[in-house]
Each structure stands twice: as structure tokens, then as C-alpha cells.
A and B are shown apart, each in its own frame.
Chain A
Amino acid sequence: MNAKQKDFLATITINVIVAAVVGILFFLLAYILISGLPHVSWSFLTGTTDSFSGAGGIGVQLFNSFYLLVLTMLISIPISLGAGIYLAEYAKDNWRTHLIRSAIEVLSSLPSVVVGLFGFLLFVVKFKIGFSVISGAIALTFFNLPLLTRNIEESLSAVPRNQREAGLSLGMSKWKTEIGIILPVALPGIVTGIVLSAGRVFGEAAALIYTAGQSAPVTNFADWNPMDAASPLNPLRPAETLAVHIWKVNTEGLANNAAQLSAAASAVLIIAVLLFNLGARVLGNYLYRRGTASK
């Protein structure tokens, strides 16, 4: 075989590989949507789950997923914003910064089950809070922080230096320059990163099984006082999310239509995550256009 033939063969092989990868994705999406969507109905989306068999609707789980997501973001965005600003602006290039960066890298590479177990150890065992929304949200924060911090740092660092110089030369404090000038410029990147991480948090389950718990007590959606035990907003109640629900129905579900249930729930989950991904792109582009005045 001469070089030309080899080249041809290699090209063919690579094309076949790419076709296989694309095929796998289309198969996955088609499988979930085709097997799941027919079972998705309004009553499925809003109904309650039978706590013994796991059959029934996913209303509470869906709410829990969003509630956990909001809480996680409320905790993790300010912290990672501060940490991102530190890394982009204040960190000097010395061993301490290297240590901090390594720590963040370690945190981002830890398996989510380890992060979840740490949450379990801290909140459920040590602080005796029990399986609760707040334990889950903090565990998800641990999992979310390094990725968000890195994203914010990168977005801030990408802002040209002269923007900083302009701010400082006007006699503004470094902090005001950062908040008033640099942050708005970096906002499209940051928002895109936040929405993408929201999609990841929304689908995360391993870190939640032993922090937010695997039970979804029926809640009274008319009661919006966070202090009441039956209120959906109560941060101390256990909260099974959609992703955990899928896992549970598949592994220990006693419902005789477990496969259909999890197909439908998977379809809902996938659509939600796809919307997050799409939303990140649309929102990022929109903010970019607004921020840079380029039509």
C-alpha cells in the first residue's frame, strides 16, 4: 500500500468514526424522546409520586430540581464571583496562588459521589440536619464552585488591559473599576457559563442522593411560608430531584411501568438541559450584542 492509498484509507476510517459518533448522539436523543415523550402529559408533569412504588407524576421532583438549582446558584454565584475576581485581579504569580489554583483544580476533578459523601458527612452526620434541600444545595455548590470560578476568572481576564487602565486613570478605585467597567464587559461570558453550569447542576444526581435525599414528601403548594414543614420552600425538608428520581425508579422502583416512567422523566430532564444549553447560547449572544453595540 502506498502513501496515497493509506491517506485515502485513513480519511475513510475517520469519516466512519465521525459518522458513528454522530449516530450515537442521534440514537440517544431519538431513543429518549421517542420512548419518553408519549408518556409525558400534564398530569405526569404535575402529579404526585406514590412513595412506595415510585409510580405516578413528577410534579414535586420537578419543583425540587428547580428550587435546588436556584438555591445552589444563590450560594455559588457570589462566592465564585469573588474568587474569580481574586484570581483575575489580586492573585500574584507566586507559590500561594499556585496552591490556590491547584486546590480549585482538585475540587473540580473530584468525583461527584465524593463531593456528595462529604456533604452527607458534614450535614447529615455531623450537623444532624438530615436529608434536606439546604444540604443538597450546599453539596451542589461545592461541585459547582470550581467550574464557575474558573469560568468567571477566564471571562474577566479576557477583558483588555486598557479598560482597567482607563478606569484607574479616572481615579476610580480598583474595586469600582472591576465592578463598574470590567464586570459588565465580561458579563456575556459569565452568564453563558452560569447557565451552562445550571444545566449541569440540574442533571446532577450522585451528589444529591445522600444530601438532599431520595424522598419527596407531598408538599402543600398553597403554603409559601418557608418556615412551615409542609411548605415547598422549606429548606429543611428532604427533596428528591428529577435526576435522583430517575435513578431510584430504575434501581429500586417497584412500579410495574418503571421503564416508561423513567423514559418520560428522562425526556423531561433532557429537554430541560437542552433548553439550558440553548438558553446559554442565546443569552450570551444577546448580552454580547447589547454590551458591544454591534448589531
Chain B
Amino acid sequence: MEQTNSDLKPNDARTDDWTARLHRATRATREDWLGRGISYLCIGVIILVVASMLWFITSKGIATFTQNHVNLWKFVSGTNWSPNQDQIGALPMIVGSFAVTFAAAIVATPFAVGTAIFMTEIAPNKGRKFLQPVIELLVGIPSVVYGFIGLAVVVPFMRHLVSGSGFGIISATFVLFVMVLPTITTMTVDSLRAVPRFYKEASLALGATRWQTVSRVILRAATPGILTAIIFGMARAFGEALAVQMVIGNAAIMPKNLISPAATLTSQLTTGIGDTIDGTLPSNALWSLALILLLMSLFFNALVRLIAKRGQLSHER
């Protein structure tokens, strides 16, 4: 390097030009920078969206407690919801949401697990070819259509079966059951498929029947996956708004039984948010309901992670 320099005249313009050129980024490098920049920007946009969503809804949701000085405990345990008279007890909606979520999960799980066993163990080829599109179709049907069918079929049916309006938790459960069924089924199928083949072979080689193998080996090994599937289904049921709102009756009172009109967090939000003035107590109270929804969604998320982690550990042991 030094020799080259001493050979040439120190202020040769051409040398400077060449060093500069050699040090300059090539076209490929510049392309790389550009590409890297674009992809970082895009991921940045998504992070920004998530962060601002969490921030905005949290800050709006806690305004009820920080600005209107409502007692947090009174909010979650109060049973009287009439925001215009400064009564904001959210318990009826919280109970309603949990009731429909658990009921839907309890009804849907046996159906989902049964279908998944059929697809993986009983008739893997036929089951897959035939049931896969069926489940995809069930996923594809928009939630308002489920709501419409609930309104047109389930509600009159319940009205017929038991007296009353037909609107209520049980109708919502029916609708949600069909909506979460494909979610739980697909994920259960995945976790059943992930069970190592030799587990099954070992069990069958010991002379176990198919059902013994399925119930004692395969289902047991796939339990973390199935639990995750159920929680995903519950998260979907908890957050579902329109279909539930159409069939539950939207009465913000403590649900006494399964067939009287009730309300969920989502149904109250859908019906209420447009009628309130921003910044007032009724509006803030609704945002607090939205915050509960958000927190529950985060909770389901954390639960899934926890189960996945423990599932991994138990497999490694």
C-alpha cells in the first residue's frame, strides 16, 4: 500500500478517484441497504400499530378510574349498568362473556376432538379429503351470517323449546359452538399428527385396541396441544362480537339463567359505543370494557405460551 503510494504522485487526482471508487458501496450493497431498510420499515409499522393499539386502549380504558374516579372494585363487582345515571357495574357483562365462552368451549371440545380423531386415526385419507374442506368452509362463513342463522333458526327454536324470548346465553352458546368448532378441530388435528408414530405402534404392538391407543396414548401425548386449541377457541368466543350480539338479547343485567336475555362485553360495546359522547363517563366506561377484552386476549395469549412451554418440557423429560 505504502509502496504504491510512493510510486505515484501524492496528489494524483486519478488515485484519489480510484480509492474513492473502491471504497464506495457497490450496487449490490446499496440494494441490500435498500432492501434491509424497506423490510425494517415494514416490521416497524407493525410494531408501531401494536404498541399504539395497546397504549391508546389502555389509556382510554383507565380514564374511568383516573378521571371519573370510579372505584376499580366497584366497577368489576357492580351489577348495575346504567352509565347515564353514573352506575357502571360491569359484572353482568363479565359474567355473560365468561358464561358463553366456557359453555361454547365445553360443547365444542368433544365434537372437535372427535372429528380430529376421525381425521387422523379412524379414516385418515377419506377423513382428510372430505372433512378438510368442510372445516375450511365453516371457517370461511362470516360471523354476521352465523348471527343471522342464529337469529332465524336458533332463537325461534329456543323460544319454542322453552318459553321466553329465545334470546340468551344458550342461543349464543349454540352459535359460538359452531364458530369455534373449526378452530379447535384444526389445531387438535395438528397436535394429534405431531404425536410420534412409534407411540402408536408400540401401543398397538402390545395388543391395545385402537380406542385404548387413542385414549391412553395419543390423546395423552397431545394434551398440551389440545389444551392450546381449546384456549384459542375460547379466545375467539370471548372476542366474537356481532354473532353474539344478534342472539344474546343485549340486556345488561345479571344473567339468572341460560335462557333470559343477557349481554357480553363485546355486545355491549357494539351496541353502545356509537351513542356516547367522547370523554364522558358513559363513553369511558365502555372503553374500560374494551380494556377488559384486551387484557383477556393478552391473558389467553400468555396461557397458550405457558402451556406450550410446559408441553415441550414434558416431552423432553
List the interface of chain A (C-beta within 8 A of B). 3-4, 6-7, 9-11, 13-15, 17-18, 20-22, 24-25, 28-29, 31-32, 35, 78-83, 85-87, 89-90, 100, 103-107, 109-115, 117-118, 120-122, 125, 142, 145-146, 149, 171-176, 178-179, 199-200, 202-206, 209-210, 243-244, 246-247, 250-251, 259, 262-263, 266, 269-270, 273-274, 276-277
Contacts and interface: CB of A to CB of B under 8 A. Distances in A.
Contacts of B208: 3
A47 to B, nearest CB: 20
A23 B27 CA distance: 61
A270 B148 CA distance: 12
Closest 5 CB pairs of A and B: A111-B239, A203-B142, A82-B42, A175-B35, A17-B114
A7 B210 contact: yes
Interface centre among B50, B152, B245, B293 (most CB of A within 10 A): B50
B114 A110 contact: no
Given A31-B149, A83-B39, A118-B56, 9 more contacts: A10-B210, A11-B122, A13-B114, A31-B153, A106-B301, A110-B297, A142-B49, A146-B46, A203-B141
Given A11-B211, A111-B238, A121 B28 contact: no
B39 A85 contact: yes
Contacts of B50: 103-104, 106-107
A4 B235 CA distance: 38
Contact of B245 (A171, A251, A263): A251
A86 B115 contact: no
B212 interface: yes
B239 A114 contact: yes
Tell me whether chain A's interface is mostly helix, strand or loop, or mixed: helix
B149 A247 contact: no
Contacts, number: 252
B137 interface: yes
Nearest to A141: B49
Given A17-B115, A25-B134, A82 B300 contact: no
